[in-house]
Amino acid sequence: MDQKRELLRHALATLAYRGGKAMREAPAGFAEFRVAETTRTPGQILAHLGDLMDWALSMAKGQEHWQNSPVLEWEPGVHRFYDGLGSLDGYLASARPLAVSPEALFQGAIADALTHVGQITMLRRMAGAPVKGENYRRAELVTGRVGPEQATPRREFD
């Protein structure tokens, strides 16, 4: 397989691992938590993450399309995020051609998604339900593992 596609797939596995950590065991009401009137809620950010995965897949297929989806309840929103990761990873794992460069997919949707996972992590701390940090270089990431079933963290920090 093309090395650039493999790196994109590893980036998706990273996104799934870090996203899962940020989204797992979110407290009740977290989806509606708001820091200020003009900021997005975690639920809005999660909907945007699903939209980013849909957009990336549409670009990969050469049918670029963007849509702003409605905010779902937290768990259905998390499932939508993972479904989008799985669809994009499946496309990248196939022999089907990419209609855009791997670099364009990374610099747009994937990098943006990593930023938004960081926002959710920060909002968890602000909401009083912090996510433990860890040495992510040592995390058990597996290319193709882009669903909610992620490895247990090896070494977390308080």
Q: Which pLDDT value is given to residue 102?
A: 97
Ranges in the chain, pLDDT < 70: 1
pLDDT one-digit tens code per residue, 90-113: 999 999 999 999 999 999 999 999
Q: Which pLDDT value is given to residue 155?
A: 87
Structure tokens at 38: 């003009």
Largest CA distance in the chain: 47
Amino acid of residue 56: A
Mention every residue, 6+ apart, whose C-beta is less than 8 A from residue 29: none
Write down all domains in the chain, each with its CATH number in brackets.
Answer: 3-139 (1.20.120.450)
Q: Which pLDDT value is given to residue 158?
A: 76
How far apart (Å, rounded) are the C-alpha atoms in residues 120 and 48?
12
Structure tokens at 14: 């990273």
- pTM of the shown model: 0.96
